Amino acid sequence: MQVARRFLVSGRVQGVGYRYFTMRAAAAHQISGFVRNLPNGEVEVVAEGSRDAMEDFKKELAAGPYHAQVTSLGETVLEFSGRFHSFRIEY
C-alpha cells in the first residue's frame, strides 16, 4: 500500500547536510517527494512510498546525519497522489 506523509523536522537541522542526508535516505528506501529548508529553521519533507519503506525512512529522519540534532519530528498523513517520480531538494 502506498502512503504519503509530511514531516517537519526541528532542531539543529540546517547547515549540517540534513537535506542531502534525506535525499540519500529516500533513494535507499525508494521514497519520492521533496525536502526543503523553511525560514523558521525547520526542514520540511513531503514523501510518498510504501508503508514499510515510509516507517524505515521516518526512523532515519529522526536520527539525521552526524552533525544534526533532531529535537522534534512532526508527522502529518497526506493523501497519496502519485505526482512524485523522484526525490529532490527544493530551494
Q: How far is CA 58 from CA 6, 22, 49, 62, 68, in A?
A: 10, 10, 11, 6, 15
Can 40 be counted among the known catalytic residues? Answer: no
Can 19 be counted among the known catalytic residues? Answer: yes
Q: Which helix (H) or strand (E) holds 72?
A: strand 69-78
Q: Considering the candidates 12, 36, 37, 88, report the single residue annotated as catalytic.
A: 37
Task: Return the number of other C-beta atoms located less than 10 Å from residue 40's C-beta.
Answer: 8
The H-assigned helical ranges of the chain are 18-28, 51-63
Residues composing the chain: 91
Q: Considering the candidates 6, 19, 36, 51, report the single residue annotated as catalytic.
A: 19
Residues labelled as active-site residues:
19, 37
